[in-house]
């Protein structure tokens, strides 16, 4: 599959087929893609926790906040929850390139997962204390971003934005994701 096709196919998934598991080895393959990604000054400061055991996933889930635009929806129901997570940890202290490094690493992870047939959702809205209690974190680090992973359990429709970029669910419960048109994103060089 060409990269552009992969990018077009990849959407955030918020409902999964919870009974279809992902192995730890598969998560390690996704993390290995992130390991190979470029990072600021090649410092390689991020750390990763793969999570596949159901008991750990059950402890992590309550720490996450899902889909801010979907009012009155607190996240996937039992049976729709992610069967796996990758937690990206960042070192404590200000390092200006960490958000960029984490974004690049997360993109490599979710695109490798998508190429393998899995869906994902990057989550930065979470209760850090609850997450640390549920999964732990390496000394000197804090959880920075969580990636929920699994087989998609919902249909996602990519569409051109008509001025409103908020994602939504239609009457058939399909998840719609509006994207700004390419022409509207381009800023020409100033003469």
Strands 47-51 and 119-123, by their bridges, are unpaired
Separation of alpha carbons 95 and 88, rounded Å: 15
Separation of alpha carbons 154 and 148, rounded Å: 14
| pLDDT at residue 1, as a whole number | 73
| pLDDT at residue 112, as a whole number | 97
User: CATH 3.40.109.10 residue ranges in the chain?
Assistant: 3-153
- Residue 36 Cα distances to 50, 66, 157, angstroms: 17, 29, 31
Separation of alpha carbons 118 and 85, rounded Å: 12
Kindly report the CA angle at 116 between 120 and 145, in degrees rounded to 5? 30
| pLDDT at residue 68, as a whole number | 83
Strands 84-91 and 141-150, by their bridges, are antiparallel
CATH topology of domain 155-191: putative fmn-dependent nitroreductase like fold (2.20.180)
For 62, phi and psi rounded to 5 degrees?
Answer: -65, -15
Q: Which helix (H) or strand (E) covers residue 158, if one does?
A: strand 156-160
**Sheet with 156-160, edge to edge strand ranges:** 156-160, 175-179, 168-169
| pLDDT at residue 73, as a whole number | 85
How far is it between the farthest Cα atoms of the chain? 60
Contacts of 34 (CB under 8 A, 6+ apart): 46, 48, 104, 105, 106, 108, 109
Number of residues that make up the chain? 191
What does pLDDT average to in each consecutive run of 10 residues of the chain (191 residues)? Answer: 85 94 97 96 95 96 90 90 98 90 97 96 94 92 97 92 91 92 94 89
CATH class of 3-153: alpha beta
| pLDDT at residue 95, as a whole number | 82
- Per-residue tokens: 119: 């869906």
């Amino acid at each position: 599959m060409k990269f552009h096709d992969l990018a077009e196919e990849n959407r955030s998934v918020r409902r999964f087929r919870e009974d279809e598991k992902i192995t730890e080895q598969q998560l390690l393959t996704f993390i290995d893609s992130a390991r190979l990604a470029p990072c600021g000054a090649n410092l390689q400061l991020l750390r990763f926790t793969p999570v596949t055991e159901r008991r750990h996933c059950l402890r992590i889930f309550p720490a996450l906040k899902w889909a801010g635009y979907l009012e009155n929806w607190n996240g996937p129901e039992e049976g729709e929850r992610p069967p796996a997570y990758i937690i990206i940890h960042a070192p404590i202290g200000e390092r200006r390139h960490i958000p960029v490094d984490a974004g690049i690493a997360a993109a490599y992870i979710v695109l490798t997962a998508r190429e393998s047939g899995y869906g994902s959702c990057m989550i930065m809205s979470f209760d850090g204390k609850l997450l640390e209690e549920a999964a732990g974190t390496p000394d000197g680090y804090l959880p920075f971003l969580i990636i929920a992973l699994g087989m998609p359990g919902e249909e996602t429709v990519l569409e051109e934005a008509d001025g409103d970029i908020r994602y939504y669910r239609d009457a058939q419960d399909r998840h719609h994701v509006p994207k700004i048109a390419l022409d509207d994103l381009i800023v020409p060089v100033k003469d």
